[in-house]
Structure 1
Amino acid sequence: MSAIFTVSELTRSVKNLLEAEFPFVWVRGQVTNLARPASGHVYFTLTDGDAALSVVWFKSSQKSASPVDRDGDRVNPLTGEVEEEQGGTALTGAGLEDGMEVLCAGRLNVYEPRGQYQLVAELVQDQGVGSLSVAFEALKRQLAEKGYFDEDRKLSLPRDPARVAVITSPSGAAVRDFLRVAETRGTGSEIRIYPSLVQGDRAPEQIAAALDRADADGWAEVAVLIRGGGSLEDLWAFNTEPVADAVFRARLPVVSGVGHEPDVTIADFVADRRAATPSHAAQELWPRRETLAQRADVLDMALARAYLGWLESKASDFDHLRKGLAWLSPVRRLERMEDRLTTLMTRLDDAGRDVFYDKWLDTRAYAQRLDRAFGVHRTDGAARELAGLVRRLERGLGTPAVDALGRDVCGLLHRMRRGAARSGEARRRDLELATTALRGLDPEGPLERGYSLVRVERTGAFLRDPKEVTPGDGLDIRVKDGRVAAVVTQKANANEE
């Protein structure tokens, strides 16, 4: 009966057997999946296109240089062989790069926690660039010359697309990562899977056909190529010319999310947008919902501010127009005309009073001058002077002569008094005429005598002729103690009284 092992026992047995059978080996292959953690150790995979071997190169085993013999040749520290005979130069950990063809010397080991065998390298020699890297660079140069990588031919991605075509393997972890991220971002979208192999000899043809089909359907807004990480051989389908041609001729924007962050493929160069991983491809297509919500809040506040600004602007325009209409309205025009009329009438009253007062002052001055020239006190003084003169004449000439002279003087005095009376009467008549004329100029005078002033509201002018109004016109009738509003109902003939 066969023995039953535990996993640890079986793994340990394989480890002992493998390490005993291969204590030290030389292995040639191409470097892929190179990693340099902070510890200083170097991890990579050796491949020849058909198989892969994990390699760990511990920091303590990495040599900065090999010793030199007397002839100047570098000597292998493990075997004592001249390195040139091995066809390469010893490398340091810092000099190792993906795609290099190397020769590794070391021992096989089984890493028990994973049950994985690996090569623990003691020496790594450069053997030149691997065939896959050479093919990669050759195709890259060829497509670059054709303009496949030109930025001006690349399309912009739609923002938050609603329909997305995904070219990938439906059973891979990459599509699950893509869908998981897509479910938490954007405003919701439809995703249609176009299944295809993503590794192997048939993969390039299927990837190109799936992309052509998605482009021909015209349903999607954007197409996405996705695949998980792997070695250069694993990702080689995306480094082929059929896939590059399909991406180049696609009318849809194409996003390439192949491999992990360090992985770069030909499809990445041709695509309209390169994403580091499948998850990153979903992040490139759809914004975070928190960002959308914040953007919606910002737009909402901006809209509110714009609306309030628009309302304020319209309110200002309305107020300006209202003031303009109020200034141009017939009512406002009549009010301004009425204010103007009131102002003119006030000025006329003031002017009339000033004229009347000036004439009154002139008349009083004339009266005072007449009084000084011909008044009683003047004639009395003259009479007293004459009486004195008569007495002196009587003493000198005698009574008869004096009597005759007295009679002449009395006649002169009588004539003078009559002339003064006539002059005063003429001045009084002039004063009365001036007073009457001033009263005729008073605009309020006719109203005192029972007349009225009629103004047509439509024109603002005073009514002087029946032809100036038509039925329906409003009238403003001003009388002594106020105003009366009236409407013309029937137009009278001009000859009617």
Structure 2
Amino acid sequence: MAVQSTSNQTSALANRAVKDVYPVSRLVREARVLLEGSFPLLWVEGEISNLAMPASGHIYFTLKDEAAQVRCAMFRNRNNQLRFTPENGMQVLLRVRVSLYEGRGEFQLIVEHMEEAGSGALQRAYEALKHRLGQEGLFDQAHKKALPILPKSIGIISSPDGAAVHDIVSVLKRRFPAVDVILYPVAVQGESSAGQLVAAVKLADQRHDCDVLIIGRGGGSLEDLWSFNDEQLARAIFACELPIISAVGHEIDFTICDFVADVRAPTPSAAAELAVPEAQQYMLSFQRYQQQLTQIIRQRLIFEQSHLKHLHRALPRPELILRQQTQWLTQQKRLLDSAWHHQLLNYQQKLDYLSVRLKHPKAQIEKQQSVLRSLSHRLQTAYRTHQKSINQQFSSLQFRLQRQVPLSQLREQQNVVQTLSKQNHRLMRQQLDKARQFLAQRVRTLAAVSPLNTLDRGYSITSKPDSGEVITVASSVTPGDSILVRLYQGQLSCEVKKVDEK
């Protein structure tokens, strides 16, 4: 019996060694590792229920839909980044890790990020479109067009009933009332809004009746501004040849339209300020440029006149040069005549000396006469040659002197001065014409708001003659008081007979 019992124990130990028996903790731990390794970080959408927010700072809740539910935990180091307070029944979008709570063996989700489902989906679509259009180059600075310095006409694409249009028009009238405004009315939110915005941009680009476009609306939620995140609108703005200013929402709001437009304004009023200069500052700049141009032209003329006078003083007078050359030639001729005469005297003395030594030597005389004639001929030939050389030298000097006379340069400088003077007069006439046109326009604008037009329609202005105070209520005068009535032409001095306050 003892031998049999020992054998049974050995068999049981062998069977137990063959089987791998898991403790509960090991099973749950390996299941957790398997779950966490099988699922990546993923997004889950559902409804919050059984919400618990204990003092530890952690958040526990159940995420459910129509068919299933799962326990969720969001720890304190993650929920301090929430931009809203979770509530039961709220539809949320979660970025989670799949896990298993070992203490109770429950399947659960560890929440890394939580956002409201509706705005979160729109935000993801916005970020995806922004990334894709940015990769295509629609936001590159190289494609941005510069705004015109002084536009004649400005187009506005917005709702005609919105406050944005009134803000833009008010700023434009205040800063530069001469600019024309063209409104392209569209719906700025709703299902048809994006299509209307695209059509308005294409129509303005096709008509080309304005110099710059302002597209925008007032502030709102992401859903309200969603029409301005439309891809077709972004491509229409990118293809538009007109420079476009985007003024959508408030300063903190950003849309796809802001990134693809040539200029982004924080508010509609700021867009109007970017589109036109301030009229008074522009006129001051214009006057400053006119003064600078006049000063530059005046300085240029003074410089040219001074340079011309300097050239005139530095150039010797032609008659002085001719007189000096004539004196030199006369002196040379006198020296030549003196030398020739001296040579003749020498020959004559030699001849006389020979004549004294020879008495009637006819052959010698004839021979000496022949030599004398030969020498005389040679002397005359040498004289003519020398005279011809002197004349040629004189002609050469006279030709060089004529080439040095700056008459042609003087004429060219005079022509340049005359041309600059004509250009100056023409530019000044053009600037004066522009100033007259601008003044006439301001006079017409002033006449349009003048109170005299109201008087012309039969109205009058009644005031007290001593103080000039305008009378607007009957109780401010009493019978017997003198009043002054201003008409469109002339004025009347009247006396109050009766006062009727009604």
Higher percent of residues as helix: 2
Report TM bin, short chain.
Answer: 0.3 to 0.5
Normalising by structure 1, report the TM-score: 0.45
Normalising by structure 2, report the TM-score: 0.44
Higher Rg: 1
